[in-house]
Amino acid sequence: MKKGMLLILLLVSGLCLYGQDHDSIPQTGFSFTIGTKVTIQLIPVDSVNFDYRILKFEPYHETIDLDDDKKLLSDKIDNDKIEFVFTYGKYGKNKKGKNNDLRIVLVLKSGLNAVIDYKADIQVPNKEFKPTSVVELLPNVKTREFWPYQIDVIALHNFQKRKLNTYHKNE
């Protein structure tokens, strides 16, 4: 029940945001509709967990050519920010010269000097939100998530610094 209420809150928060620049109230998460480009600022809650606020939110209705997306996100991202685009993407043309099938894609890049874990829930047409797997965000490395089916909304939440396992080499 709590998860359902959180997802409804995230959906309403995400749908209420539309425009150019924002300075939203920090929250655990927000939801975003397909066709958006966003910059968020992570706000530390403690030494591991983050809330975040939305700094920039704009429509993005282009199909990404994933073979040539170097200019999609900023080269250098501030230390406390993450940029991402949630839209349609494809990899160039296949061997027969036809466009490859479109996929739903989430492309992210973190400026933090730490590995970041987060959670994502997706909503497919006419269904409830459900969790989906995502990979961690590495510092200043573009990360891509793909889905082979239509997704209308994604909720991103529970951003955390990765607790690194330390080890010592045998000396």
DSSP structure string for 60-84: --SPEETTS-TTSS-SS--TTEEEE
Question: 129: helix, coil or strand?
Answer: coil
Does 29 reside within a domain? Answer: yes
pTM across the whole model = 0.79
Q: For the chain, what is the domain count?
A: 1
Does 130 reside within a domain? Answer: yes
Tens of pLDDT along the chain (171 residues)? Answer: 445 444 444 444 444 444 444 566 778 889 999 999 999 999 999 999 999 999 999 999 999 888 888 888 998 999 999 999 999 998 766 555 455 678 999 999 999 999 999 999 999 999 999 999 999 999 999 999 999 999 999 999 999 999 765 344 444
Does 166 reside within a domain? Answer: no
Does 108 reside within a domain? Answer: yes
Residue whose pair of structure tokens reads 């403690």 in the numeric block = 46
Does 170 reside within a domain? Answer: no
Range of the domain at 121: 2-161
Does 126 reside within a domain? Answer: yes
Does 171 reside within a domain? Answer: no
Does 77 reside within a domain? Answer: yes
